[in-house]
Amino acid sequence: MNLRAVTLAERPELESVLWKLDSGWPTFIDYDPVTTFVDLAVDRFPEFLFIVFDGDDPVAKVLSVPFHWKGKDPEELLPGGWDWVLSTAFLQDREGITPNSVSALEISIRTDAQGRGLAPRLLAMLADNCRRLGFHDLVAPVRPTHKHLRPHMAMDEYARETRDDGLPTDPWLRVHARAGGRLLRTCPASMTIAGNLQQWREWTALPFDSTGSVEVPGALVPVDVNLDWDLAVYVEPNVWVHHALDQR
């Protein structure tokens, strides 16, 4: 494949392409209220967002934001994961704090282009973009691709699972490990999505007719449901991964 990355800073008119690119993520993910900041990132951080083309065909998107990582200390990467780092990037920007690191937000491939080995190349493109912009630390609140198949397994345990060759069992964590990424810690509340039961029925086509834990296709952990409160809450765990980029 003849891949090339085009940032929204270079071609802002590609914003519509960015939003139309379907990567097959579960519908309910779009209803994390913090995702509003992604829309704002198009205007504030366009050089950190890019579309990957195969020739003239858009096949993937890569979203990231700059932020200040205090002391480069793993403990400073908070349990809020994706929600925390995205909101922090904007709060720090408003306060005039100079960023020293980049966090990935999303690396996703168009559904009909998946399975072609693009993931490592996209991660490499993100690392190259970070270097181009003068950054040498890349982190990511990684959403393991096969965790949804084991929703009742603790993320700590899942992330530690390895194959005979010592690499993570999960395919996406394995891509990061092969690229030199170091698994730091889990972020147990990386995304939080709450809605009434009718909303969840629309998002998932499931009945949501009993109180308790409900397994939802694509969810990494069960959704907690309370009929008396007309409320269902999904709190997604991710895994913080750090890439120390070289000076190339």
Q: Is the model's pLDDT at 208 over the cut of 50?
A: yes
pLDDT tier, 212 (very low <50, low <70, confident <90, very high otherwise): very high
CB neighbours of 227 closer than 8 A, spacing ≥ 6? 197, 209, 210, 211
Q: What is the pLDDT of residue 22?
A: 83
pLDDT in the model for residue 246: 79
Average pLDDT over residues 188-207: 98
8 A C-beta contact, residue 13 and residue 203:
no
In angstroms, how far is CA 142 from the centroid of its own chain? 6
Q: What percent of the chain has pLDDT over 90?
A: 95
Q: Give the model's confidence band at 100: pLDDT under 50 very low, under 70 low, under 90 confident, else very high.
A: very high
d(CA 217, CA 220): 9
**Length of the chain (residues):** 248
Give the separation between CA 155 and CA 159, rounded to whole angstroms.
6
Contact between 89 and 56 (Cβ < 8 Å): no
The rounded distance, in Å, linking the Cα atoms of 185 and 241 is 8
Alpha carbons within 13 A on the beta-carbon side of 29: 17
> In this predicted model, what pLDDT tens digit does every residue of 150-181 receive, in sequence order?
999 999 999 999 999 999 999 999 999 999 99
- Give the span between the Cα atoms of 206 and 215, in whole angstroms: 10
Q: Hunting for tokens 């993931």 — which residue is that?
A: 119
Q: Using CA atoms, how far apart are residues 101 and 138, in angstroms rounded to an integer?
A: 6
- Model confidence at 225, pLDDT cuts 50, 70, 90, reads very high
Give tens-digit pLDDT for 11-51.
Answer: 999 999 999 998 888 999 999 999 999 999 999 999 999 99
Count of other CB atoms within 10 angstroms of residue 119: 22
The answer to whether 58 touches 37, Cβ cutoff 8 Å, is: no
Residue 124 CB coordination number (10 Å):
12
Residues near 16 by beta carbon (within 8 Å), at least 6 away in sequence: none
* Rounded (5°) CA angle 123-171-136: 30
Q: 3-191+236-244, what's its fold?
A: Aminopeptidase (3.40.630)
On the question of pLDDT at 1 being above 90, the answer is no
Residues of the chain with CATH 3.40.630.30: 3-191+236-244
pLDDT, tens only, 62-98: 999 999 999 999 999 999 999 999 999 999 999 999 9
Report pLDDT for 248. Answer: 45
Task: Write the pLDDT tens digit of every residue in 2-19.
Answer: 899 999 999 999 999 999
Residue 138 host element (H or E): strand 137-142
Is it the case that residue 106 has pLDDT exceeding 80? Answer: yes
